[in-house]
Amino acid sequence: MLGAKLYLAQRLTALLMAPFVVIHLAVMIYAVRGGLDAAEILGRTQGSLWWGSFYGLFVVAVSIHAAIGLRVIVFEYLKLSGVALEALMWFVGVVLLLLGMRAVFAVVG
């Protein structure tokens, strides 16, 4: 059900997400406590290659990680397997990627 490649993909994306979450929360708290409002934050993120790459990579990592994680849960508890399970995993991954990228473009674009 979960082979070496999917396992590796989930662990590597977890390795990426751990520092990303810390950076995201730290910067958010710093910005808000510093008195920046939404417009001022957007002014700093829009057009920024750095924030675009940061959140773009974050969204890719989340999409892969969550899709594989849900695959395991759905297999073990809902007994879905075979093509249906593969299709669900890809569907979840692609939907998360699209929604996430839409948010990234809204903040950076």
Tokens 């948010």 identify what position?
A: 103
Q: Under the criterion CB under 8 A, does residue 97 sit at the interface with other proteins?
A: no
Q: Under the criterion CB under 8 A, does residue 5 sit at the interface with other proteins?
A: yes
Number of residues that bind other proteins (CB under 8 A): 13
Residue 83 CB, nearest approach to other proteins (Å):
14
Q: Which residues contact 4 (CB under 8 A, 6 or more apart)?
A: none
C-alpha gyration radius of the chain: 17
12: which DSSP letter?
H
Phi, psi (deg, nearest 5) at residue 47: 85, 0
Where does this chain touch other proteins (CB under 8 A) — which range of 6-14, 21-29, 44-52, 91-99? 6-14
Nearer to other proteins (CB atom), residue 67 or residue 108: 67
* Residue numbers 7-46 binding other proteins by CB under 8 A: 7-8, 11
Q: Under the criterion CB under 8 A, does residue 77 sit at the interface with other proteins?
A: yes
